[in-house]
Structure 1
C-alpha cells in the first residue's frame, strides 16, 4: 500500500495523512461490490484475477503480478473515491455545519456513511 500512496497526487497523499475519513470512505466503498464493479467497468482497471490453481498463485507471487495489479487498481480507485465520494461528502458536511452555526437547523433524512 505504501507504493500506491507514493504514486498518488500530492493533495490526496496529504488528505490521507491528515484526515482518516478518506481511508474510511475508501474502505466503505470497497465493501460495496456494485460500486467496485462499476468503477472497474468505467475505468478499465481491475483487481487481480483469482488464481485457478496453486501453481498460478505461486507464479503470480513470483512475478509480482498480483502486487502490480493491486497497485494499478488502488492508484486509480483512491483518486476516484476522493473525487466522486469524499469531496462531495465533505462539501455537504461543511455546508451543513455552516448552516447549523447560522442558526438554521435542518432535519434531513437519509443514510450515508
Structure 2
C-alpha cells in the first residue's frame, strides 16, 4: 500500500512512506487539514491520519498513538504543527469505517 502522492506534497509523501514502512497498514488515509487553519494556501502543517494496522492489536489507544508519533518524530519537529490520529485494528475497522470530521480551528482564521 503506497498510494500516489503528487511531487508538490513532500510532507504528505514522507508521512505516507514512514507509516507504511513502520506499521504496514491495511488501510491508510492521510488528510491534509491545513486549509482549515490560518496558513498559506498549499501548506502541509495540519494532518489527520487514519491508520489501520495489525500492529495495534492488544495495544491501548495511547500506545497506538505513540507508535504513530514515534514514526513521524522528524515531521513533527520539522513542519507538522498538528497531527490528529485515528488508530484502529483491522477488526475495529470492519466494525465501522466512519471517521469523525475534525472540529473547526479555534485559534486562527480557518475556513
Please classify the TM superposition score into its range, dividing by the shorter chain length.
under 0.3
Relative contact order higher in (CA < 8 Å, ≥ 6 apart): 1
**Which structure has greater helix proportion?**
1
Instruction: Find the structure with the greater CA-based Rg.
Output: 1
TM-score of the superposition, structure 1-length normalised?
0.24
TM-score of the superposition, structure 2-length normalised?
0.24
**Which structure has greater strand proportion?**
2
